[in-house]
Amino acid sequence: MTRRPLLLVEDTPSLQLVYESVLKTAGHAVRCADDAASGLALFRTLQPPVVLLDLMLPDRDGLDLLSELLAIKPDTRIIVITAHGSINKAVAAMRAGAHDFLVKPFDEQRFLSAIGNALADAGPGPAAKPSGSVTAPPGEFTGTSEPMQRVYAKIRSVARSMATVFITGESGTGKELCAQAVHDHSNRAHGPFVPLNCGAIPPELLESEVFGHVKGSFTGAIADKQGAAAAADGGTLFLDEICELDLNLQTKLLRFLQTSTIQPVGAARARKVNVRIICATNRNPLQEVRRGRFREDLYYRLHVVPIHMPPLRERGADVVAIAEAGLTRFAQEEGRKFNGIDPEVATLFQRLDWPGNVRQLLNVLRHAVVLNDGPAVTRAMLPIELHHELEHREDETPETPRPHVTLEGLIGRTLAEVERMVIEETISRHGGSIPKAARVLDVSPSTLYRKIEAWKAAD
């Protein structure tokens, strides 16, 4: 039950009556307005903790009103209401500072859940921090660089909302850590956090993994199986590598997001679940939409609050802090006597591109700890492939021109030779950066590193 009344701004009389009735039945005091002008006047008088705002108002655009309300009282939790056909406006509202959004038609459970989450998070926001101040990392993150400070701030800002979070970033940048941190800072922290890697499950089994199945629904279904969506009921479902979903399953996921219902394979009836979705990909999702590999309507339904995880090469001194934390942990696990990283190695670590990001860095530290006994990680302890990368960077001479590949130069060569020439030319045109070349060629940086190592071994 609320002490201060909620404010409902809805211009359709029938819907206003329905929403008001549901709120009052649930014990909430509520005041109503049927246009932006009266809503703004009531807002100034009531100073409500939560505002329910229809984005389609007769006298003013709802997004403009949202911005003005937040300018007057920034800690207000605003839940926007929009029609199914204008989901892009809800996305814009979330980016403008809305706490959550509801897409018509929605059920009573989803409505009251959004109100409850907003009220739990309502109240004065954290005191403004002086410019340049450093915030302690949430969850299991390490590092205080400026790019990560922006990530931490967004995690704390979005955590208590029901809005879908879409995490992007290269492999190994910590996308699952980010999803776990959002869950741990949310009102759902007491519920389950269920991760599912969409790229690691065969397409024919993915629907069963997400939605479950009943016994006998297909060959091999020897017992009922609870899917990840049901297992996450009351908590968070993390769909990693979301762009790997086939188009048929994308349609079913969209229906799940719109209705909050699941229907296991072979089941006669659907049932409701209360799940927050967080998804992630190492691809460019909008590019996947343009190529026809990802549904546009699903993209806009999921891409509400984007969080981009910066690559390790853009995090400055964080690489040393992560390396030292990993070294301490691995030394304890392996019973070794390491006490730090040689200054030369620390400098080298900050010069490398780290195509595998944090995952690659930790593998390097694990390698050094397993094969050595300290007291400090020196250059000689680094794995051979890292030595090759260091030698390559030290021998780089940007002034030396390289001949450009032409079609005439490709005719008469084998496909393997053509592939090597194209890859090497692409790397050259991007200043020797393998990660940048990999993005242009639409492959993983690790694929290019493996090919380069194979060419070196064959030469």
Say if residue 428's pLDDT is above 80.
Answer: no
The per-residue pLDDT for 122 is: 65
State residue 308's pLDDT score.
92
C-alpha to C-alpha distance for 176 and 196, rounded to whole angstroms:
10
Between helix 343-351 and helix 318-334 the angle, nearest 10°, is 120
Global pTM reads: 0.68
The pLDDT confidence band at residue 1, using thresholds 50, 70 and 90, is very low
Q: Domains of the chain: which residue ranges?
A: 6-121, 146-308, 312-394, 407-458
Distance CA 390, CA 439 (A): 22
* 186 pLDDT more than 80: yes
- Distance CA(291)–CA(288), nearest Å, equals 5
Tens-place pLDDT, residues 305-363: 889 999 999 998 999 999 999 999 999 999 998 989 999 999 889 888 898 899 999 99
Is pLDDT above 90 for 427?
no
User: What's the token pair of residue 147?
Assistant: 């790019």
* Confidence category of residue 422, pLDDT binned at 50, 70, 90: confident
* CATH of region 407-458: 1.10.10
- Name the band, by pLDDT with cuts 50, 70 and 90, for residue 52: very high
Residue 129, pLDDT above cutoff 70 = no
Using 50, 70 and 90 to split pLDDT, how confident is the model at 458?
A: confident
> For domain 312-394, is the CATH number 2.60.40.4070?
no
The third-level CATH classification (topology) of the domain covering 146-308 is Rossmann fold (3.40.50)
Q: Cα separations (Å) of 34 from 73, 116, 337?
A: 21, 23, 70
How confident is residue 32, by pLDDT bands cut at 50, 70 and 90? very high
Identical topology for domains 6-121 and 146-308? yes
Question: With pLDDT > 90 as the criterion, what percentage of the chain qualifies?
Answer: 39
Domain at 6-121, CATH homologous superfamily: Response regulator (3.40.50.2300)
Which of 206, 231, 225, 232 has the alpha carbon at shortest distance from 266? 225
